[in-house]
Amino acid sequence: MTSAWFAGDPDNLEKFPTITPTQPATSTPPTVLPPGFDNNAFAMLTAILKEWGLDSLADSVRNMLIAGDKTEIIPFKIRETDAYKTRFAGLIQRTKNGLAPLSEAQYLATETALKSVVRKYIGSGQYDSNDTVARWLASDVSPQELNDRLSAYAQNYMQQPQSVKDAWAAHGMTPRDAIVAAMDPKVTQVELKRGLTAFALGSEALQAYKDSYDFDKNRLYQLGDAGVTADQNR
């Protein structure tokens, strides 16, 4: 006996889904390139955009070439865009600060080196963003200087027992404060060294006397200024 499904039984039509005709997909028509369009120039310029992290400007560059802009002029126009000014904010601020200029390649190489230093000591995240690195570049902080700062931070803070960190936190030196002090270009290396010396002196005293220690941050700074070291304070 033939199944009603195959006999065209009208009662079974409702079991089949209703098929709605689909509309043809619309797409943006491709840009029509004029005769003689310089594909080699476009390829070179888009390679530069990729290196700079500005791939989104490829259409703008194409339009510049179509409009007749000369290849050597287009990089200067790119530097006037908001996208460029955001990506290379530190480079622009360096000029305003009267520092020696850097090429985009030098800027990016230094940026990569600075990020590597941060990730070595702290890891990736908040402190290796482009915005943070831009502030260091604008202040002429070199990868070596940042390494020295974070190395001192690691030796004087990160390696301390949790009880010492807790005691310091109770007196206004939280982990975030320690990181910011080490990484803030406005804190000079002299100021940073002074603060780390006081921290080291206090850490030794806290471990030696524990709860009986009369914590006096100003006194620790005075001892450090007088040349007392953590070894001498043991």
**pLDDT, tens digit (0-9, with 9 covering 90-100), for 159-212:** 777 777 777 777 666 666 777 777 877 777 777 777 777 777 777 776 666 655
**pLDDT, tens digit (0-9, with 9 covering 90-100), for 97-120:** 999 999 999 999 999 999 999 998
Contact yes or no for 135/78 (Cβ under 8 A) = no
For residue 215, the Cα-to-chain-centroid distance in whole angstroms is 37
Asked whether the predicted pLDDT for residue 46 surpasses 90, the reply is: yes
CA-nearest of 113, 112, 49 to 83 is 49
Which residue ranges make up each domain of the chain? 39-138, 143-225
Outline where 30-71 has alpha helix (H).
39-52, 58-66
Does the pTM of the predicted model rise above 0.75? Answer: no
Contact yes or no for 38/70 (Cβ under 8 A) = no
Q: Taking phi first (over 0 means left), then psi (-120 to 50 degrees means alpha), and beta for anything else, what does residue 214 get?
A: beta
Torsion angles phi and psi, residue 171, rounded to 5: -115, 25
Query: Tokens 């936190």 label which residue?
Result: 169
